[in-house]
Structure 1
Amino acid sequence: MKRQITAVAAAVALALTGCATDNDEPGGGGEATQAAAAFPVTVGNLTLDKRPEKIVSLSPSATEMLFAIGAGAQVTAADDNSNYPPEAPKSQLSGFQPNAEAIAAKAPDLVVISNDTNKVVDQLTTLKIPVYLAASAVTLDDSYKQINDLGALTGHPAEAADNVRRMKDDIAKLVGDVPQGETKLTYYYELDPTLYSVTSKTFIGALFSLAGLENIADPADADGKKGGYPQLSVEALVKSDPDLIFLADTKCCQQSLETVKARTGWANITAVKNGDVIQLDDDIASRWGPRVVDLVRAITEAVAKARA
């Protein structure tokens, strides 16, 4: 997924899991012993001989995953965009332009990144720092795999499996409860006020398809040459007259029902007339971690309201 596409493609991030133990060993020795017994662990080409205790996360989605599976205490530094959960150790490190020297200065025993900009993987590998690449998810299965991979790498496989199971169950229930109609509702998903959007072939678009919605942006990238992130024209958008509008630019660009209604020609769009302009949390709408359930919930609730 992508965020903020005015200048660059937009990047498309739960409760903490406790680690309490009933044994009497000082410092949670029983848990540490169990975690140690699970190692060495191999995920793809990465092998860790022992549980990492100084993790640097350079991906907001990965940071959310790590805390959701109970590995938050092992995260010693997170990138400058990792703002959830609030206790995440946000730093000046950049996930968009990762600096190997700055990362190495944190003395990590595991680094999690979402892209290999500047060939940082090779640089960190040369410094003998283990790296797990958690690339932007294309499907929900990608999200589930990353959560399970991180669970294995951090010594929390059971917590990760539980998290994935809850996500699957929650999404299945939300989608299963979506009210049906004789025709599909149409929608427009806004990444920024310059009318960049997503097609059904993207991670976000696939979530809307689960809810049975038709994407008005699909024709704008029918050949796929725009990578699933086309910029729409005002004329085409107004003519398509979507039933629902989802704004993923409420934080970055302060967009709302009021600002949309004030745009030239938009007041007569069905979604605007009916008040079906949904203001999403930019962060939740751009990440593929456990809070993707919240995005699916926002989508299905909007459908239910429009069908009522």
Structure 2
Amino acid sequence: MSARRVPLLLLPLVALLVLASCADRAPSPATPSSAAGGDAFPVELRPEGAPPVTIDRRPERIVSLSPSTTETLFAVGAGEQVVAVDSASTYPPEAPKTSLSGLNLDPEAIAGYNPDLVIVESDLESKLADALAKTGVTTLVLPAPKSLDAAYEQFALVGKATGHRAEGEDLARRTREEIGKLVADTPKPDERLSYYHELDPSLYSATSATFIGQVYGLFGLTNIADQGDPEALGGYPQLSAERILRADPDLIFLADSKCCGQNADTVAARPGWDTLSAVRHDRVFALNDDIASRWSPRLVELVRTVAEAVAPRASR
């Protein structure tokens, strides 16, 4: 999760000089103000929580080092412009997956793909942007959004950055509407339900102050991880088994089913967990880890899963 990032190592000066001198990409031809698809360039982007960026011409060689953004690039129709994605970008299947890392950023390895635009989730002290700028490559930082509205804004921004403005705006609108309809159509339980969202078997969780917590908040669920302060520990506290047993959540959502093989049976086998209401009443839900941790258009699938978990608890 984003709460546990590996610091970016500083590259020796000589490496940066070699990187700058060895770039042999031919200069891109001048692009008219109206690019493919009727999108005008240059465009200025102001992503929330990141430095503003100006993209002079429609990017034709994009490297994505953010799994969420990789999904969005393909969703807005920019897939053919993507030449490389990081090792964690598992969707869509046709994405050109490589050994690049979005955590340990390597300017030389990234430059080897001859990009004209690189998209990352985080760039500590702009080290990557500064290094790639020496070769004329633009770096766009798109941090994890703090709200659903911020996620929708990123969809539109990715479209604007890649020459697919209309598609990005349409994706944002459709995702917002689909999620809104799912929430509106879900019967409301007679009593407020509590839940536990598990990130890994060591009992790390996400509070209601996080992006994932806001999804559950759409259905009025109470997060047992809040413990009086949803902002504590960056919103990703490690709970104790005693705390979870004491809270006795009505619903349990497992975002560690793919990575760690967790499911209703493994949860029930934990000491004392067979006494939990969620276990006894078959209310343990295994999520797709990737969908549950990304702010991509597949958010709709996560919201649908939560809606299906909540609906049976309402009176008909």
Q: Which category of TM-score, normalised to the shorter sequence, fits these structures?
A: 0.7 to 0.9
2: distance between equivalents of 1:66 and 1:55? 9
2:218 corresponds, among 190, 210, 218, to 210
2:41 corresponds, among 34, 39, 42, to 39
Residue 16 of structure 1 is matched in structure 2 by none
2: distance between equivalents of 1:296 and 1:223? 21
CA distances 1:137-194 after superposition (whole Å, capped 9, x unpaired): 1111221121111111111011111111110110101111121133201100000111
Q: Which runs of structure 1 show a deviation greater than 3 angstroms over 4 or more consecutive aligned residues?
A: 32-37
- Cα pair 1:70 1:159 within 8 Å, conserved: yes
Distance of aligned partners of 1:107 and 1:305 in 2 relative to their CA distance in 1, 3 Å threshold: same
Residue 98 of structure 1 is matched in structure 2 by 105
1: distance between equivalents of 2:169 and 2:140? 18
- Cα pair 1:36 1:51 within 8 Å, conserved: no
1: distance between equivalents of 2:149 and 2:143? 13
Residue 270 of structure 2 is matched in structure 1 by 263
Aligned to 2:192, the other structure's residue is in SS state: coil
Residue 305 of structure 1 is matched in structure 2 by 312
Residue 237 of structure 1 is matched in structure 2 by 244
Residue 17 of structure 2 is matched in structure 1 by none
Residue 140 of structure 1 is matched in structure 2 by 148
Residue 31 of structure 2 is matched in structure 1 by none
- Kindly indicate whether structure 1 or structure 2 has the higher relative contact order, using CA contacts under 8 Å at least 6 residues apart: 1
Question: What's the TM-score once normalised by structure 1's chain length?
Answer: 0.87
Residue 276 of structure 1 is matched in structure 2 by 283
The aligned amino acid for 1:247 is: L
CA distances 1:216-244 after superposition (whole Å, capped 9, x unpaired): 1111x617331111111111111111110
The aligned amino acid for 1:50 is: R
2: distance between equivalents of 1:155 and 1:123? 25
> Gaps (5+ residues) in structure 1?
11-31
Residue 193 of structure 1 is matched in structure 2 by 201
2: distance between equivalents of 1:172 and 1:56? 32
1:150 corresponds, among 138, 155, 158, to 158
Distance of aligned partners of 1:224 and 1:90 in 2 relative to their CA distance in 1, 3 Å threshold: same
CA distances 1:55-74 after superposition (whole Å, capped 9, x unpaired): 00000000000000000000
2:260 corresponds, among 233, 253, 257, to 253
Residue 186 of structure 2 is matched in structure 1 by 178
Aligned to 2:151, the other structure's residue is in SS state: helix
Distance of aligned partners of 1:108 and 1:240 in 2 relative to their CA distance in 1, 3 Å threshold: same
Question: What's the TM-score once normalised by structure 2's chain length?
Answer: 0.85
- Cα pair 1:284 1:291 within 8 Å, conserved: yes
2: distance between equivalents of 1:41 and 1:97? 29
Are 1:222 and 2:224 counterparts? no
CA distances 1:102-139 after superposition (whole Å, capped 9, x unpaired): 11111101000001147212222233210110101111
2: distance between equivalents of 1:180 and 1:97? 44
- Cα pair 1:36 1:50 within 8 Å, conserved: no
What is the Cα-based RMSD across aligned positions, in Å? 1.8
> Gaps (5+ residues) in structure 2?
7-33, 47-51
Q: After TM superposition, give the deviation of residue 49 of structure 1 in Å.
A: 2.1
Aligned to 2:259, the other structure's residue is in SS state: coil
- Cα pair 1:64 1:289 within 8 Å, conserved: yes
